[in-house]
């Protein structure tokens, strides 16, 4: 899908558990990461929460990632909905699932998400005895990061600005911005409030989130290079665990940030972004990579050329 000077370069898919044959179709279609939240690893609670329907089969749901990998999808994303059950059981289940995938499939999870039960039209999170305080939630994030250092960790707009900012310092590496949780919500000029899956706590625009990230000392990256260069699954994990992925991630982050600044950013965000890029370019240790990245950034700024990557 083309928009202005850019394209949607990667599509992640979050759908219910399905068959190996259907996962093969998704692989053939060129998806990025396949994401499926367990919701809860406690079998008794899972069956009570899903008394009927296609999600009722606990084993079929829990083994979905194995079938996805058998179907050729080598980047998968795990997650539980913290607050449905005791956090200690869910934390252990999540780590055991990650360990299982690495031991059996040879690749651990590409991402781990940490959603909490939030208010929705028919849900009051206060009725759940297992709801988490902010402090406990942040400890869980830190422990997951220590236990699974290679995985990308995702926090969504379910959480507000304060919690998201603190979580970034504890191991979160991916956040969303300007999210809409209504079916067809992105087709509306204004964000719908009457059909949301859950309340969105961080309602800032994408530009505001990008600006805030840079003010906090982070580099907003829109990079999708690894997927299109074949650095997925065990190939990605070996680079990530050795730290060599930084040789690609750092310059790619700066180049994709430049694309955003040129094509979509406000004047304030653009000005701040180019200051950040100027300083970050100096930190690229490889002289050749630094020179190529700088040259590509100039191409992006002065022409319609896009999609440079290492």
H or E element: which one contains 272?
A: helix 267-281
Comparison of pLDDT for 228 and 264, the residue scoring more: 264
Each residue of 41-51: pLDDT tens digit? Answer: 999 999 999 99
Each residue of 143-152: pLDDT tens digit? Answer: 999 999 999 9
H or E element: which one contains 111?
A: strand 111-113
Each residue of 208-229: pLDDT tens digit? Answer: 999 999 999 999 999 998 888 8
Pairing of strands 13-14, 152-155: unpaired
In the chain, the percentage of residues whose pLDDT exceeds 70 is: 93
Q: Report pLDDT for 183.
A: 78
CB-CB neighbours of 151 under 10 Å: 21
Q: How far apart are CA 210 and CA 276, in angstroms?
A: 12
Residue pair 144/97 in contact by the 8 Å Cβ criterion: no
CA dist list (Å): 200 to 59, 181, 189, 255: 31, 8, 17, 30
Please report the domains of the chain, with CATH numbers, ordered by start residue: 2-204 (3.20.20.70), 224-310 (no CATH)
Lowest-pLDDT choice from 130-134, 162-166, 189-193, 306-310:
189-193
Q: Scanning the structure block, which residue is given the tokens 């600006």? A: 211
Mean pLDDT confidence for 113-128: 73
At 1, is the pLDDT very low, low, confident or very high (cuts 50, 70, 90)? low
Residue 105, pLDDT above cutoff 80: yes
At 189, is the pLDDT very low, low, confident or very high (cuts 50, 70, 90)? confident
Q: Report pLDDT for 7.
A: 77
């Amino acid at each position: 899908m083309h928009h202005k000077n850019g394209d949607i370069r990667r599509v992640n898919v979050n759908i219910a558990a399905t068959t190996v044959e259907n996962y093969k179709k998704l692989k053939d279609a060129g998806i990025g990461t396949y994401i499926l939240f367990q919701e809860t690893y406690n079998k008794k609670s899972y069956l009570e929460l899903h008394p009927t329907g296609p999600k009722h089969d606990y084993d079929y749901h829990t083994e979905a990632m194995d079938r996805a990998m058998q179907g050729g999808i080598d980047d998968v994303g795990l997650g539980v909905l913290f607050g449905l059950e005791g956090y200690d059981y869910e934390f252990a289940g999540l780590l055991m699932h990650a360990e299982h995938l690495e031991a059996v499939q040879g690749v651990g999870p590409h991402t781990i998400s940490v959603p909490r039960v939030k208010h929705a039209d028919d849900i009051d999170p206060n009725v759940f005895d297992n709801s988490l305080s902010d402090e406990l939630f942040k400890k869980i994030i830190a422990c997951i990061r220590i236990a699974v250092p290679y995985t990308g960790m995702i926090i969504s707009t379910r959480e507000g600005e304060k919690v998201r900012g603190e979580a970034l310092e504890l191991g979160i590496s991916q956040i969303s911005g300007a999210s809409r949780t209504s079916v067809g919500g992105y087709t509306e000029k204004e964000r719908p409030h009457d059909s949301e899956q859950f309340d969105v706590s961080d309602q800032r625009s994408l530009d505001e989130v990008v600006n805030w990230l840079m003010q906090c000392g982070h580099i907003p990256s829109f990079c999708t290079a690894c997927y299109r260069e074949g650095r997925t699954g065990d190939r990605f994990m070996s680079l990530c665990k050795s730290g060599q992925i930084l040789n690609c991630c750092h310059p790619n982050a700066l180049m994709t940030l430049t694309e955003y600044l040129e094509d979509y950013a406000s004047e304030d965000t653009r000005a701040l972004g180019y200051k950040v890029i100027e300083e970050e370019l100096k930190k690229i240790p490889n002289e050749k990579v630094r020179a190529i990245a700088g040259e590509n950034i100039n191409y992006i700024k002065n022409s319609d050329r896009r999609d440079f990557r290492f």
